[in-house]
Amino acid sequence: MNDRNAQKKEIRTAISKAEKVLIGIGGEWRLREDGKKVRSRRLKDEAQRALREGYESLYRLIKDKDYYIVTTLTDGAIYDTELASSRIVAPCGNIHWRQCSKACTKDIWEEGEVPSDVCPYCGAPMTGNTLEAEDYIEEGYLPRWEAYKQWQAGTLNRRLVILELGEGFKLPTVIRWPFEKIAFFNQKSAFFRIHKSLSQIPKEVEERAWGIGADSLEWIRGMV
């Protein structure tokens, strides 16, 4: 598909007919630079207007569907949208979740829950509960990951739309490669990979997959 309007129509039609919708959100959807530290940026800020509108458009596209979202982002912005947090898993963590930098405990706190930002057990500084931590505590996302795997098991032989948005090769084992595998095994799936420069589709799924070379955030913003 080369015509942009035809591509967008194809996606809308596929979603309208889908029984389930699986979405992957990657780097093209990260919070924009605005001079603040990442922890101080908020989706409501004016500098994040395009991102906010992208999430609003995505919500309108899928709000009436049985969806699940996997994101490699750690900025937590997706949790400030209308998308259901119970249908989101962030296996790379969330910078607004705090853990002991020494990993002396598997406890994880919400930002501000421990005002001193110091571990109440050992006195070590807190750090973001993300892959960037020296000792990443994965318990923060595991309950949602288990829920996602159960949801995914129910997609086999169902009309499934896979919408991969802005995910590159930094962490291909989280979204990119697993989504290809899901598309391969589900003969009723329709797989859309949207990325400005990495929209290539493997030949094993090319009969029911579309690679769209475009900024995925801007693409979704223009969908509705």
- Reported as a single tens digit per residue, the pLDDT across 190-201 is 999 999 999 999
Query: Could you tell me if 43 and 115 lie in one domain?
Result: no
Instruction: Please give the structure tokens belonging to residue 34.
Output: 């605005």
Q: What is the pLDDT of residue 1?
A: 46
Distance of CA 61 to the CA centre of its chain: 15
Give the list of residues 6+ apart from residue 66 with CB closer than 8 angstroms, or none: 19, 20, 21
Cα–Cα distance, 136 to 103 (Å, whole number): 8
Query: Could you tell me if 106 and 14 lie in one domain?
Result: no
* pLDDT surpasses 60 at 119: yes
Instruction: Please give the structure tokens belonging to residue 114.
Output: 């421990």
Q: What percent of the chain is helix, strand and coil (3-state, nearest 5)? A: 35, 20, 40
Q: Letter for the amino acid at 56?
A: E
Cα–Cα distance, 169 to 2 (Å, whole number): 24
Last residue of a domain, one of 107, 135, 163: 135
Residues 49/198, Cβ–Cβ less than 8 Å: no
Q: What is the pLDDT of residue 2?
A: 53
Query: Could you tell me if 124 and 161 lie in one domain?
Result: no
Query: Band of the pLDDT at 159, cuts 50, 70, 90?
Result: very high
Query: Could you tell me if 19 and 119 lie in one domain?
Result: no
Of 142, 193, 136, 150, residue with least CA distance to 169 = 193
Query: Could you tell me if 114 and 195 lie in one domain?
Result: no
- List the CATH number of the domain containing 203: 3.40.50.1220
Of 141, 119, 139, 137, residue with least CA distance to 129 = 137
Mean pLDDT of the chain: 96
Q: Given its phi and psi angles, is residue 166 left (phi above 0), alpha (psi -120 to 50 degrees) or beta?
A: left
Average of per-residue pLDDT across 201-212: 96
Query: Could you tell me if 78 and 175 lie in one domain?
Result: yes
Sheet of 160-165, strands arranged across: 88-89, 66-71, 20-25, 160-165, 189-195, 209-213
Query: Could you tell me if 60 and 45 lie in one domain?
Result: yes
Query: Could you tell me if 71 and 172 lie in one domain?
Result: yes
In the chain, pLDDT over 70 holds for what percent of residues?
99
Range of the domain at 176: 4-91+141-221
Average of per-residue pLDDT across 97-119: 96
Query: Could you tell me if 80 and 154 lie in one domain?
Result: yes
Query: Could you tell me if 65 and 149 lie in one domain?
Result: yes
Q: What is the pLDDT of residue 4?
A: 84
- Give the number of domains in the chain: 2
Last residue of a domain, one of 135, 161, 190: 135
Query: Could you tell me if 152 and 119 lie in one domain?
Result: no
Query: Could you tell me if 106 and 82 lie in one domain?
Result: no
11-33 pLDDT per residue, tens? 999 999 999 999 999 999 999 99
Last residue of a domain, one of 106, 135, 164: 135
Of 53, 110, 114, 51, residue with least CA distance to 77 = 51
Sheet of 93-100, strands arranged across: 109-110, 93-100, 126-130
